[in-house]
Structure 1
Amino acid sequence: MRQPSLASLALFLFLLLHVVPEEVSGQFWAREGAKEKGDHEEVVHGGDDENSQKIHLPVVKLSNDNTIPLVGLGVGNLQHYVVPLMVAGAIQDDKRTRLIDTSHISDNEHLVAEGIQEGMERVLGGNDRIVTIHVVTKVWYTYLGYERTKLSIRESFQALKSAMDHPRVDLKVHILLHWPRCYDNISWMSCQEDEARTPHHIKAAGPPPHQDKDAWKGSWKALEEAYLGDEFPIRSIGVANFHLKDMEELEELAQVQPHILQLNVWSLLYDSQLIDYCYKHGIHVQVYSILNGIVTEPQKAPNAFHHLQKVASELTDDKQPHSQQEQEEDEVSPAQVVLAWLVQHGVSIVPRTSRLSRLKENSAVALASVPDLSVEQVETVAHSVEAFLSEDDLEKDIHVKITFHATTKDTFLYWNTHDGGEIKVAFIPKGESFNEMTYPNHSFRLYDARNKDHFIEYKVDAKFGSHEHVHAEL
């Protein structure tokens, strides 16, 4: 285990000093803090008329003055039958996740369009309003090169056509280069074999890109022409998984500078030079693979996970729900803590899920309702995320300290497991006490040592860092 490293602290300071957004009516805005007027400022009313609450959904203004939502849904490589269901669910008014991230290689752009059509039937419900939906798709590395990229763009728009033709959908398409090149040293890439498997009509469009490490430069020219031309209504163009050297080369040759750079969350944390480059050049950073291996696998860094739980508990308290039902629905999860940490600092997110419950938890509406993280909480999350990514847990854990007092009788203390079992913790003689370090929501059972039919249940509802006393009067 280790103390928080300079990497996480550097990210924390970068976010704090460079991209802390100005809050305007509960809205989080990136960098310049400018509030965008128009269709992209969506307002959700929660509760009844008396207790209604305005929630401004987070968007960011790109360098071309167009906007894009900060909260999206990734559907790349999901099983095909799941894609329409997830997309249709995401765009509903109770979630309003109206940014869908996919790629041409996923072969599901047509399913994204299908999901938009299906979802719109429920969204509209007889209403004739126009709904703006954004789709980010990407040009795969087998399509690199000027002519091949033109083909990829055309195929993507053909796949999305049914959604674009929907009379009540204003579809905004953003196109990125997925990779600058194929890398044989990446385990799942196989450059020569991938080219061999490429369909003939793609091969006929241009030379094999794996034989030219700079084939992406022709691709960028094709993207620029499509963006500036009239044939394809492209909202913005950008790149994904580019290194700093590639970005600097792109800057030198580009007629249109990239509006978006999409990265793995690892790069956000560890490649501070690249992130600083994006900030200085007005390139918006979008992050994928945010939750994979973090909150989904708490055993990798249990101490860090407990710190995220603590922040989640604090933010839940800050939400001040109006009713018990709202309190249960509005509980902030560790996953939402990580996502809100990024969104509140102008970094857009496209977490992937195939579960409807996660769809709501990760939604634009849910994340817009998470209170502002404090400076201390931002630092805690940065350290915790780095602990998960490095698989090197934080040195310091946090607990709830419970002192159990055997007030009237000799007492056995058991911990209740999630599957209904029991684990013996201690025997506490009458008049003595026992200290146990535990966590919120754990439950215990205290038995009369001479009669196990007599017992009391205790569930930990204290906060992290607190100390409570339990007097067992059996």
Structure 2
Amino acid sequence: MTTAVFLNNDQKMPLLGLGVYKATEDNEAENAVISAVQNGYRLVDTASVYKNEEGVGRGIARCGVSRKELFITTKVWNTAQRLGDISGAFQRSLDRLGLDYIDLYLVHWPVPGCYLSTWKEMEKILSSGRARSIGVSNFNIHNLEELKKISGIVPAVNQIECHPLCYPKELIDYCQDNGIQVQAYAPLARGAYLDHDVLCVLGTKYAHTPAQVGLRWAVQKGISVIPKSTNPERIAANARIFDFSIDQEDMDLLDTLNQDYHSSHVPEDLRGIPL
């Protein structure tokens, strides 16, 4: 059963990864990374704004798996975009992580008036080899079209909120048609669908939890998922999504649950600004 995908530059990325958003308590991110690696995860997703890159770096150093087996993602925040300090922000992330390269570096949000110039700076980081792939997060079709006008480098990934209650099919189809890998953050909707009747019924049918069914729905569409957890038992449970398949009729049923429900929010510094 497929557990990884190839990006548009032939880099291999796991379909399952660990998200560490809000894992900021003492050793929380570090221990989560170690637990995840012990449970077969090889992708870890962080960001400068999460304020835990140091902890992630300690987890990478202590996890017992060689660096080349891991896929590490981090992101440039809005402030650095406005300051035009992309190279500096990237180097600080590298230093905090204790790494000499990043597998995937993302533009965290399409800051109006900044994200196109940010992308040009990202291209330089890519050409330097310090980032193996570059991509975007929270970009809509308009943002991606604008990017296409100024760059011949197609984003390797667009990381967006996606789960059965939030299924932006038009955007996903656009990305897949243009060779952009979709990656779902908040793929469990922060618990919002775990007691949904349909997910519970399907969980019983497939002898898996509603969370596992929701994650399986995404990866079966070729969408990478990065569920966040710092609980070792839930980290382990979230990894058990490659031992079953959902029938097409049930996939279609899950598609109908879309409510455009977002468990995440636009950051304060972008609220009220058309993206």
Q: Please give the TM-score of this superposition, normalised by the length of structure 1.
A: 0.52
Tell me the distance in 2 between the aligned counterparts of 1:172 and 1:76.
18
Alignment pair present for 1:362 and 2:251: no
Report sequence identity in percent: 30
Structure 2, unaligned runs of 5 or more: 264-275
Look up the SS of the partner of 2:70 in the other structure.
Answer: strand
* Rg larger for: 1
Residue in structure 2 matched with residue 348 of structure 1 by the alignment: 224
SS at match of 1:176: strand
Cα distance between partner residues in 2 of 1:76 and 1:222: 25
Pairing partner for 2:193 from 276, 291, 295: 295
Instruction: State the Cα distance separating 1:307 from its structure 2 match.
Output: 2.1
Partner of 2:127: 228
Secondary structure class of the residue paired with 1:258? coil
1:89-238 mapped onto 2 (5 Å cutoff): 89-92=35-38, 95-120=39-64, 132-144=69-81, 147-161=84-98, 164=99, 173-181=103-111, 213-230=112-129, 232=130, 234-238=131-135
Q: 1:314 to 1:104 in 2, by over 3 A?
A: same
Whether the aligned pair in 1 keeps the contact of 2:159 and 2:182 (CA below 8 Å) is yes
Alignment-derived partner of residue 206 in structure 1: none
AA of the residue aligned to 2:123: E
Contact 2:165 2:259 in 1 (8 A): no
CA contact (8 A) 1:66 1:235 kept: yes
Instruction: Give the aligned partner of residue 270 of structure 2.
Output: none
Give the whole-Å Cα distance in 2 for the aligned partners of 1:276 and 1:268: 17
Q: From the two aligned structures, give the one with the greater helix fraction.
A: 2
Q: Relative contact order: is structure 1 or structure 2 higher (C-alpha 8 Å, sep ≥ 6)? A: 2
Judged with a 3 Å threshold, the aligned counterparts in structure 2 of structure 1 residues 381 and 267 are, in CA distance, closer, same or farther, namely: closer
Give distance in 1, aligned partners of 2:211 and 2:237: 8
Q: Is the 8 A contact 1:139 1:175 kept in 2?
A: yes
Residue 228 of structure 1 aligns with an amino acid whose one-letter code is S
Once residues 106 and 65 of structure 1 are traced to their aligned partners in structure 2, the CA distance between those partners, rounded to angstroms, is 28
Flag the structure with higher strand content: 1
Query: Is 1:59–1:68's contact at 8 Å kept on the other side of the alignment?
Result: yes
Any conservation in 1 of the 2:44–2:71 contact (CA below 8 Å)? yes
Which residue of structure 1 lines up, in the alignment, with residue 271 of structure 2? none
Q: Quick one: structure 1 residues 106 and 269, their matched pair in 2 at CA, closer, same or farther if it must change by over 3 Å?
A: closer
What pairs with 1:28-427 in structure 2 (closer than 5 Å)?
Answer: 28=2, 58-81=3-26, 82-92=28-38, 95-120=39-64, 132-144=69-81, 147-161=84-98, 164=99, 173-181=103-111, 213-230=112-129, 232=130, 234-265=131-162, 269-291=166-188, 292-296=190-194, 298=195, 305-316=196-207, 332-363=208-239, 366-369=240-243, 371-384=244-257, 386=258, 389=261
Deviation at 1:172? 5.1
Gaps of 5+ in 1: 1-26, 29-57, 124-128, 166-170, 182-212, 299-304, 317-331, 392-474
Give the match's secondary structure for 1:346. coil
SS at match of 1:285: strand
Q: Quick check: 2:168–2:260 contact (8 Å CA) kept in 1? A: no
3-state DSSP of counterpart to 1:352: coil
CA distance, structure 2, for counterparts of residue 381 and residue 216 of structure 1: 34
Q: Deviations over 1:343-401 (max 9, x none)?
A: 122100111112121110112xx1111x11111111222234x269399xxxxxxxxxx
1:425-444 mapped onto 2 (5 Å cutoff): none
